[in-house]
Homo-oligomer: A and B are copies of this chain.
Amino acid sequence: MKTSAQELKPTGHVINGVNVEDVIGLIDDIGRNIKYAKTQFRARNSWVNGGVNQSEVKGFYACCQEDNSRNKAFELRNDEPLFLAGEDKAPNPVEYVLHALAGCLTTTMVYHAAVQGIEIEAVESSYEGDLDLRGIFGLSEEVRKGYNKVRVKMRVKSKASAEELTTLAMFSPVYDIISKSLPVSFILETH
């Protein structure tokens, strides 16, 4: 959508759709007072029936205070696919793990790039998670219950190098959580 020159923010303030001054302002706050780094996210969940349950995501703690800026909760539903005796009306929990990883790698790379003045034009990525059902069903103690391996392929349109962008993506909190638990292969290509 085109906008008039008057509506545009000053050059350099918004890169990759990220308001860089807002992010740098937060980093400065944390540098001045470590308490600004302490954040707590939350969810509440209610079982509906069978493999269906629903989460509400609303309040959180950030910037030294309870953040009540959300007027209503986000509602997220889990279900299971047909072969797992579900009704398949929503993704299942291990699919949500891949979505969380995807979002976190992408956003972390895009934000870090913005702060460094690196423009990104497009990001596409794909995720595969290998699960051995003997784990969840307790059929083998040698098989882990969670993913055995996750593979990530990311394709980024940018003038920055693949190595540079990989370094930025590796700041991702969800990547940290998953890659400290199981092998995650990460391949990033630029074009």
Contacts and interface: CB of A to CB of B under 8 A. Distances in A.
Interface in A135-191: 135-139, 143-147, 171-178, 180-182
Interface in A43-57: 43-47, 49-53, 55, 57
B182 A177 contact: yes
Contacts of A76: 91, 96, 99
Contacts of A7: none
Interface residues of A, number: 101
Interface string A2-30: 00000000000000111100110011001
Interface string A106-118: 1110110000000
Given A47-B123, A145-B176, A146-B177, 13 more contacts: A36-B133, A37-B132, A37-B133, A43-B126, A44-B125, A47-B124, A53-B102, A55-B98, A69-B83, A85-B111, A93-B103, A93-B107, A93-B173
